[in-house]
Structure 1
C-alpha cells in the first residue's frame, strides 16, 4: 500500500481530530477540557455530516443539558474499566486475540509500528500499547510528521510519514475500532461519550475518504 499524499489542510484537520479524540478516549475530561471543547465545537475539523453530525449533536445535548463532569467521568470509567471491569475493552489485543488477552502478539505488533515514528506508549510494559486512544494519537502524529516534512520541503519524507499512518489505519484500527465504537456508543450512559464514539467513527470515515 502506497497512499498518495493528501493536502496539508487535510493533514492538519486529521491531526487535530485524532489528537483530541485520542485524549478523550485515554482520559475522561475535567471542567477545563469540557469548557475548551464547548468553545471549539462549532469549529470541529471534520465536516458535519453522517456520524460526525450525530456525534456533534450528542455532545451539544450534553452541554445544553448540563451533564455534570462527575457523571461524564463515571461513564468513561464504566465503559473502559479504569477501576473495574470494562463494558467495552479499549485494547486491540482483547478484540483481535483469539483468547482475548492483553499484552499479546497484537500489542507487540502495535509497539513495533509506534517505533517507526520514534514513539512508545507512555507507560511501557505497565499498560498495553494498543489502547484506542494511543492508536488515534499515532494517526495524529503521523499527520503532524508529514506536515513538518512538507514545511521543510521534503515530499518524500512527508509521504513516508503519512504512509506509516495510513497502513496502520488499514492493518490495525479498521480491524477492530469501528465495531468497538458502536458497542461503546450503545453502552455509554451520557450524551457526551455517545458523541465521542460517533465523532470517532466520523474521523475514521473522513480519513479513509482523504486517502
Structure 2
C-alpha cells in the first residue's frame, strides 16, 4: 500500500504541473520542474502500453532541450489564451473551458460548469479565491484530479480501503464525464492556433496522459477491490 500511496502523491503532482500552461505564462523555473517530472511521465506512458501516449511524450521531450525564451513564450500565451495580437495570426482566442466546447451555446458557465461545481462541492473542494476562472476551466478540472489523488493517498495512509476506492471511482467518473470528453478538442484547437512547438505538442501529451489514466484508475480500483 505504501507504493500505491506514493503513486497517488506523484500522480497528483503531475496533474498539478500539467495544468499550469493553460492558465498562466511559463517561467524558467516551471520548465525545470517539468523536465524533472517528464521521465516519470514517460515511464507511465511505457507502462500504460498506450502507444499514443508514448508517441506524444517522445514528440514533446526534445522541445524542453531548447533554450527557454520567456518573451517568446509570454507572447504565444497572450496570443493563444488572452487574445492579444490575435489579428496577426488566426483571429481566434482559445478559451479553455468545457462549457465553451460542449454546451450548445458555446458560452462559459453552462451545463457542464454546473455539473463540475456540484462534483467539486460534493467532494470537499471549495473555490480557490485566487483563481478567477470558472470551475470548468481545464486548469481547475485538472486541479480537482490532483486534489482527489492526494485525498486517496491520505486515505491509504489511514488504511481506509473503501474511501480509497471511492476516490478512484470519483476520478474515473470525472475523467470520463468531463476531462476526456473535451480535452482532445482543446488540444486540437491549440494545435491549430499556435506557432510554438511547446503549445503544439504539450496539450496532446496531456490528452494522452488522461486517456491512459482512465485505464490506470480502472485497474487499480479492480485490484484494490479484490484485496479488500
SS at match of 2:30: helix
Match of residue 31, structure 1, among 28, 35, 45:
28
Structure 1 position 184 matched with structure 2 position 190? yes
Query: Whole-Å Cα distance in 2 between the matches of residues 125 and 31 of structure 1?
Result: 22
CA 1:29–1:124 in 2, change beyond 3 Å: closer, same or farther?
closer
- 1:169 Cα deviation after fit: 1.2
- 1:36 Cα deviation after fit: 2.6
- 1:182 Cα deviation after fit: 2.4
Structure 1 portions without partners, runs of 5+ = 1-6
Q: Is the 8 A contact 1:50 1:202 kept in 2?
A: no
Higher Rg: 2
Deviation track 1:33-85 (CA, whole Å, cap 9, x = no partner) reads 11232344333362256344444344443333324122122222222226577
Residue in structure 2 matched with residue 75 of structure 1 by the alignment: 76
The structure whose residues are more often helix, as a share, is 2
SS at match of 1:103: coil
Structure 1 position 16 matched with structure 2 position 22? no
Structure 2 portions without partners, runs of 5+ = 87-91, 219-228
Q: Is the 8 A contact 1:55 1:197 kept in 2?
A: no
Q: Is the 8 A contact 1:58 1:194 kept in 2?
A: no
SS at match of 1:46: helix
Q: Is the 8 A contact 1:111 1:120 kept in 2?
A: no
The alignment's TM-score, normalised by the length of structure 1, stands at 0.83
Structure 1 position 47 matched with structure 2 position 45? yes
- 1:142 Cα deviation after fit: 1.0
CA 1:39–1:169 in 2, change beyond 3 Å: closer, same or farther?
closer
Range with greater deviation from structure 2 (129-138 or 173-182) = 173-182
SS at match of 2:45: coil
CA 1:202–1:88 in 2, change beyond 3 Å: closer, same or farther?
same
Query: Whole-Å Cα distance in 1 between the matches of residues 182 and 160 of structure 2?
Result: 33
RMSD: 2.7
Structure 1 position 56 matched with structure 2 position 36? no
